[in-house]
Structure 1
Amino acid sequence: MTEKNLKWKQRLLSSGYPLEYVTEKTLEKSKYKIFGEYPYLRESENGVVKEFSVDIRTWKSIIVNKDYHSLQLLIECKYLHDGTIWLFSPTTQENNFGTTLLFDNSAVKPFVFDQNQLRNASISIQKCRNGVQINHNDDGRDSIKKGLYQLKFATPLLFKEIIELAVSGLFGSMSNLTFFGSILVTTAEIRVLNQSLDLSSFKEAKDISELSEKKKFILVEESAGPQLHNHVTMQFDTLMSNHGDSVKLKINEYQKAYQSDQLPLAPSIHTLSRDFINCSEKVLVVNFDYLMELIEILEKNLSEDLKNINSDALS
């Protein structure tokens, strides 16, 4: 077959559609329901409000002790040609206490809940900051930056929807918890720079493996810039403007359960607003080959945490 006849294949692969398709099919095999794209409005870099979208919104029931909870994921897919590397900088902070991998609506739910197992699981996942794309043709940050931005701007909107649904009482029993997170799926090889490199290390290296370690998945944690911060603040302000009385009522009601120092920090309007910012600053990045391994880690540890959920404290 001639090179000309193969151009259709390269164009199809480069569109990203095949990666989205196989990602959806992989999720469906694990009983996730696919809702298609997740569209949303935000200001572009030029200050014009435009419609953007995340490739996949998916949902699954998590059943523990006969109680139904749910896990929602926003997934953005980035197909890169063979040989492409995503190289990230590691964070330098000690990670002895773990971090949040999934967020939830427990602030407005009748449960005392803490993510101990999920935080413990996060300790083994490399935390990173910015990354650069390296391939045979050029190098840059565009596909990484665009993928992260799509998810960072979309996640607070999903959070707002989840809280609105929780305080509205619609769609039957609203006693369950909803968990959510964002994942950037790529075909690029994911690598993280070694600690304590100097400029001579880069100049003298003959192969990228001398400078970095290959990873199945990582967690990118970056503080929100002005545009993202304003976007998140607007979502929280809209929530409180439309449903503020209901949100405050739920939070005040459930604060009564938090008596012991051993319990997680009691919910408040402040902690809820902080979670809106935090959920926009954390994105899991995974090579497609290890997507289900990552999701199984999330599901397993979430299920373990849910076994220790306490609703009696609120009765």
Structure 2
Amino acid sequence: MRTYLESKGCIADFEYSYLKPDDLTIERQFSYDIDASYIRGRNFVDLMVECKYRYPGTRWVFTPDHYGGPEEFGQNAFMHPFDHFVPHKFPFPGNFPRELAPACSKAVELLPDGPNEKTVVQALNQLAYAIAPKIVSAMDHQINRLLVQDHIFYHVPVIATTAELFRLNDGVRIQQIRDANDLEEVATRQSCLVMSYKPGVELGRYNAKVINSIAALVDQKALKKCLNSFTNDLGHLLSVISTTYCPRAVVFVTVDSRQSGFEQLFAYIDDLFEPPPCLLADLEKQQNELVELLDGLPDVRLRQPKPRSKKTAK
């Protein structure tokens, strides 16, 4: 895996370690398998890869999810662009005319002797708790201009597995699953999937503790000078990052001889940084459709009350 990532131009290293409390609240060392940096211009992509090698025939089955909706789960949520302390912004944070892969939510591992719900959860936790320390490092680099200059950092959590990935078909019902003779009757095989993720209370507290530590390390004048975000309130910014950003989505890829899942991921990331003409055309079309939609909405501006005449006032 490391050799493949280096062949794509990554600077890769085995095992990234971090500290977090265990089940007994004792701080211990945890890690994920491969940490790879993929740099394109002023875009610094950190691929956080946890590898799960499973017995042949093992299947991971995912429930379907969809982009958009009340949670504003964008197609590029898995990129986690961190651009709060640099002058330029990631241009595609919301709705996007392309997608890396179908969206999903929960997953279960199917083994010959029955389902196993722990494997996927454990892999997710190993990556989810590693993002906050990465955020602290990104803030330090952006504010103090360490090693990089005005780079946007991206934290892309990836679970790479030899298990076969299946996404249940949209609209499939439980009875259909029970009646199916084979999984492929109710699910579709995928080489890559994007899972939506929402930090729980425990993870949110851990994120806040780790991310707030940056305030003690950074000169406040330098911090305020660099801040370029949706809010000027640092506390508000760090709170939002802790509860909604770490992480918002995780990528799952199948490891096979062609590395089709990773090839799909790298091609998509390259297109984000250097959009081809067909993507630019789709973006322009999407923008025009949005303008037409807004123009078709009724004018809801509040009318100012007419000033009362002196006679009426009396």
User: Do the two structures share a fold, i.e. TM-score over 0.5?
Assistant: yes
Match of 1:164 among 140, 143, 154: 140
Q: Normalized per residue, which structure has more helix?
A: 1
Instruction: Give the partner amino acid of 1:286.
Output: V
The equivalences for 1:237-276 within 5 A come to 237-243=212-218, 245=220, 246-251=222-227, 254=228, 269=234, 270-271=236-237, 273-276=239-242
Partner of 2:130: 154
In structure 1, distance between residues paired with 2:25 and 2:113: 32
| Count of aligned residue pairs for this structure pair | 267
State the SS of the aligned residue for 2:138.
Answer: helix
**1:100 and 1:118 in contact (8 A); partners too:** no
Partner of 2:46: 72
Larger radius of gyration: 2
Instruction: Give the partner amino acid of 1:42.
Output: K
The equivalences for 1:45-124 within 5 A come to 45-63=23-41, 68-91=42-65, 98-115=75-92, 119-122=96-99
Instruction: Give the partner amino acid of 1:107.
Output: H
1:245-301, Cα deviation, whole Å (9 max, x unpaired): 2333311xx46xxxxxxxxx5776334542343232311111123212212211221
Relative to structure 1, is the Cα distance of residues 236 and 94 closer, same or farther in structure 2, using a 3 angstrom cutoff? closer
Partner of 1:301: 272
1:282 aligns with 2:249: yes
Instruction: Give the partner amino acid of 2:240.
Output: R
**1:127 and 1:218 in contact (8 A); partners too:** yes
Partner of 1:35: 13
**1:191 and 1:214 in contact (8 A); partners too:** yes
State the SS of the aligned residue for 1:37.
Answer: strand
Instruction: Give the partner amino acid of 1:282.
Output: A
In structure 2, distance between residues paired with 1:144 and 1:30: 27
Identity of aligned residues (%): 18
Instruction: Give the partner amino acid of 1:296.
Output: A
Give TM-score scaled by structure 1 length: 0.76
**2:67 and 2:75 in contact (8 A); partners too:** no
Relative to structure 1, is the Cα distance of residues 89 and 244 closer, same or farther in structure 2, using a 3 angstrom cutoff? farther
**2:108 and 2:117 in contact (8 A); partners too:** yes
In structure 2, distance between residues paired with 1:222 and 1:142: 16
- Which stretches of structure 1, 4 residues or more, deviate above 4 A after TM superposition? 92-97, 265-268
Partner of 1:139: 115
Instruction: Give the partner amino acid of 1:229.
Output: G
Partner of 2:22: 44
- My pick for the range that moved more, 27-36 or 289-298, is 289-298
**2:37 and 2:47 in contact (8 A); partners too:** yes
Q: Cα RMSD between the aligned structures?
A: 2.6
In structure 1, distance between residues paired with 2:48 and 2:253: 13
1:225 aligns with 2:200: yes
- My pick for the range that moved more, 193-202 or 215-224, is 193-202
Structure 1 runs not aligned, ≥5 long: 1-22, 256-264, 309-315
Relative to structure 1, is the Cα distance of residues 284 and 92 closer, same or farther in structure 2, using a 3 angstrom cutoff? closer
In structure 2, distance between residues paired with 1:103 and 1:118: 14
Partner of 2:174: 199
Relative to structure 1, is the Cα distance of residues 296 and 118 closer, same or farther in structure 2, using a 3 angstrom cutoff? farther
**1:107 and 1:267 in contact (8 A); partners too:** no
**How big is the shift at 1:191?**
0.7
- My pick for the range that moved more, 136-145 or 54-63, is 136-145
- My pick for the range that moved more, 239-248 or 295-304, is 239-248
Partner of 1:313: none
In structure 1, distance between residues paired with 2:205 and 2:3: 36
In structure 2, distance between residues paired with 1:101 and 1:268: 25
Structure 2 runs not aligned, ≥5 long: 281-314
In structure 1, distance between residues paired with 2:123 and 2:214: 26
Instruction: Give the partner amino acid of 2:179.
Output: E
Partner of 1:189: 164
**How big is the shift at 1:82?**
0.9
Relative to structure 1, is the Cα distance of residues 274 and 304 closer, same or farther in structure 2, using a 3 angstrom cutoff? farther
1:198-219, Cα deviation, whole Å (9 max, x unpaired): 3321221111111211111111
**Structure possessing the higher relative contact order (Cα contacts under 8 Å, 6 or more residues apart):** 1
State the SS of the aligned residue for 1:196.
Answer: coil
Relative to structure 1, is the Cα distance of residues 224 and 53 closer, same or farther in structure 2, using a 3 angstrom cutoff? same
1:32-83, Cα deviation, whole Å (9 max, x unpaired): 11122110001112322110001011112203xxxx4322111100001111
